[in-house]
Amino acid sequence: MKTETLAREFRYNGAKLTDPSPTFSLQQVRDFYGNTYPEIVNAEIEGPEVVGNKNVFTFRRAVGTKGAEDELISVRKKIGRVLQNCRRMPPSITAYLVEVERFAGAHVCPLLDEEVAFIDALYARYVTAACALEAIS
């Protein structure tokens, strides 16, 4: 019987990350990639899962940090309300919001501050403004 050392592979947000050094501990690999993906520093390390001749480790963004879950729920509610009023919205924005909702719901990747600001602006334009018009009528 022949034994074979399995290579390590790392994954984060759907991206395959190569092993920077076989001598690095899992935490050192996580810290190494922290320069490229700052949010990975607090990620949980899952695995390994044997896939072919590789040990695959997955970095999962830590959920449950103070306020993060409430903020995500609030953003998801805003997306839902905006989508309800999507008759006046360009189809490309509707498609974008559907994708953001899908990723946010699966905790696949954290929303960027710019994305949250854009969603807030859409909410103000399509929901808050519509409610104000209804109140006037």
Q: What is the mean pLDDT of each run of 10 residues along the chain (137 residues)?
A: 87 88 94 86 88 91 52 76 80 87 68 81 81 57
pLDDT at 30: 92
Q: Measuring CA to CA, which residue among 93, 74, 72 is closest to residue 83?
A: 93
pLDDT at 100: 83
CA–CA gap between residue 15 and residue 107 (Å, rounded): 15
- Work out the end-to-end distance of the chain between its first and last CA atoms, rounded to an integer number of angstroms: 81
pLDDT at 66: 45
CA–CA gap between residue 59 and residue 68 (Å, rounded): 18
CB atoms near residue 119 (< 10 Å): 22
What are the CA-CA distances from residue 6 to residues 30, 48, 50, 56, 118 (Å)? 19, 11, 8, 9, 44
What are the CA-CA distances from residue 92 to residues 18, 103, 114, 133 (Å)? 34, 17, 18, 25
